[in-house]
Amino acid sequence: MNMTELLSAGLPSGCTVELAEDQASLVDCLRLRVEVFVVEQGVSPAIELDEADRDCTHVLLRVDGAPCAALRLLWEPHAVHVGRLVVKKAVRGGGYGRMLMQAIERLDRVRACGLLQLDAQCQAIGFYEHCGYRCYGPVFQDAGIPHRKCEKRLG
């Protein structure tokens, strides 16, 4: 089983999850982020597209070949930091964000670490709690948007 098959296991027909290992897939991830964070939410492109992108693993969900959701994984010493989860506006509510979050838990490197952490926009906390994350700490601002820290321990 290759990596795309592993990440896409159990998804509906036409859905695939892949590591963005080539330039075209990486560009698809970045375009989705610009569409959601810069255009919809008003985040500065200088903040959204940052130096951490070089050190991250980017993950892309496609539906019938079209990019629909993406996130990035930053490998920290004691945790995997999940960041920049986006779902294309036209397909929100279709479960694609949840599918992408479940897919990354099948990565051996994530499972070996056992701890996922993220900074959730407050308006999305319910989504992350539904995915099994626990929020902690005070609300803080990131790019002018209220966030809270969240984590999930894998069994």
| Distant-in-sequence contacts of 80-84, Cβ < 8 A, 24+ apart | 80/104, 80/109, 80/110, 80/113, 80/115, 80/116, 80/117, 81/116, 81/117, 81/118, 82/116, 82/117, 82/118, 83/52, 83/56, 83/118, 83/119, 84/33, 84/37, 84/48
28-49, pLDDT tens digit by residue?
999 999 999 999 999 999 999 9
pLDDT at res. 101: 97
Neighbours of 69 (CB within 10 A): 29
Q: Please state the pTM of the whole predicted model.
A: 0.95
pLDDT at res. 155: 82
pLDDT at res. 34: 97
SS3 at position 1: coil
Q: Could you tell me the end-to-end alpha-carbon distance of the chain, in angstroms, rounded to an integer?
A: 23
Tell me the C-alpha to C-alpha distance, in Å, between residue 47 and each of 50, 52, 149. 6, 11, 19
Closest CA to 99 of 121, 76, 78, 130: 130
52-89, pLDDT tens digit by residue?
999 999 999 999 999 999 999 999 999 999 999 999 99
The whole-angstrom separation of Cα 83 and Cα 143 is: 14
79-137, pLDDT tens digit by residue?
999 999 999 999 999 999 999 999 999 999 999 999 999 999 999 999 999 999 999 99
pLDDT at res. 1: 77
Structure tokens at 87: 């779902």
Domain ranges of the chain: 3-113
pLDDT at res. 107: 95
The CATH architecture to which 3-113 belongs is 3-Layer(aba) Sandwich (3.40)
80 Cβ neighbours under 8 A, 6+ residues apart:
73, 74, 104, 109, 110, 113, 115, 116, 117
pLDDT at res. 139: 98
pLDDT at res. 59: 98
Tell me whether strands 134-142 and 145-153 are parallel, antiparallel or unpaired.
Answer: antiparallel
